[in-house]
């Protein structure tokens, strides 16, 4: 415990799944967390769970594609805690629509939620990290951002964009002691994948693709996020970290 003592973190998409696991673990390790999601009731419940366990959390409803919402979230963090040390861009959506069946509306939705949100988060948080002497950004991509998955063109494009945006950020802001790294989850059991995992054939297919013979859990990802957010990784920037049970090793 205490790996994030005195750190202030913003975590998006924290109402469930990987974002919630990040928030709970960060608070346990001493961080004060500003957690956001578009689902107000659920994000408030996560904040209560943290405070009931003795942690410090502020829950905000946020549309991560809204510049106004990012300005409000950033200002709230600064007003409440005086600084921002960590940004975890976790919010995102999946899309399994084949490329030729994707209309422009869906393409824009996937890109806005998965990529524009990361751009806006960094745009609003980085100036305050510079003023504060540094920080750590962890952007959640996917194994789809490393390989050309079948039937997921818009999603794959968005996650690939997150990977390279992260690298560009790492190069540009290392001189300000700001680190930026991406995490690439494999097949993880979360509310987003619940329906897919309920299908026995699909579940067995996911397992067949993963050398470690189990599906990932949100807590597996949170441990990687914690490492990259903490000072333990102070000489690590611009990397992509697969947490995928060995999928990308094949």
Q: Is-catalytic flag, 235?
A: no
Asked whether 181 and 239 are in contact (CB, 8 A), the reply is yes
Q: What is the 3-state secondary structure (H, E, C) of the chain?
A: CCCCCCCEEEECCCCCHHHHHHHHHHHHCCCEEEEEECCHHHHHHHHHHHHHCCCEEEEEECCCCCHHHHHHHHHHHHHHHCCCCEEEECCCCCCCCCHHHCCHHHHHHHHHHHHHHHHHHHHHHHHHHHHHCCEEEEEECCHHHCCCCCCCHHHHHHHHHHHHHHHHHHHHHHHHCEEEEEEEECCEECHHHHHHHHCHHHHHHHHHCCCCCCCEEHHHHHHHHHHHHCHHHCCCCCCEEEECCCHHHC
First vs last Cα of the chain: how many Å apart? 35
| Set 124, 155, 187, 247: catalytic member | 155
Give me the active site residues, please.
155
């Amino acid at each position: 415990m205490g790996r994030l003592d005195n750190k202030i973190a913003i975590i998006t998409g924290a109402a469930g799944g990987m974002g919630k696991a990040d928030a709970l673990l960060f608070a346990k390790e001493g961080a004060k967390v500003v957690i956001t999601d578009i689902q107000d009731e659920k994000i408030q419940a996560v904040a209560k769970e943290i405070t009931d366990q003795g942690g410090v959390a502020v829950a905000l409803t946020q549309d991560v594609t809204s510049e106004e919402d990012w300005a409000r979230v950033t200002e709230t963090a600064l007003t409440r805690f005086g600084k921002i040390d960590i940004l975890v861009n976790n919010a995102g959506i999946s899309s399994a629509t084949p490329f030729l069946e994707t209309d422009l509306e869906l393409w824009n939705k996937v890109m806005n939620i998965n990529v524009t949100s990361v751009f806006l988060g960094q745009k609003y948080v980085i100036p305050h990290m510079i003023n504060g002497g540094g920080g750590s950004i962890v952007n959640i991509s996917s194994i789809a951002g490393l390989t050309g998955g079948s039937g997921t063109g818009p999603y794959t494009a968005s996650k690939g964009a997150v990977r390279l945006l992260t690298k560009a950020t790492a190069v540009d802001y290392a001189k300000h002691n700001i680190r930026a790294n991406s995490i690439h989850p494999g097949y993880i059991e979360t509310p987003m994948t619940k329906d897919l995992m309920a299908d026995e054939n699909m579940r067995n297919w996911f397992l067949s693709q993963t050398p470690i013979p189990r599906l990932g859990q949100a807590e597996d990802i949170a441990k990687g996020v914690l490492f990259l957010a903490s000072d333990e990784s102070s000489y690590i920037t611009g990397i992509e970290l697969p947490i995928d049970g060995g999928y990308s090793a094949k």
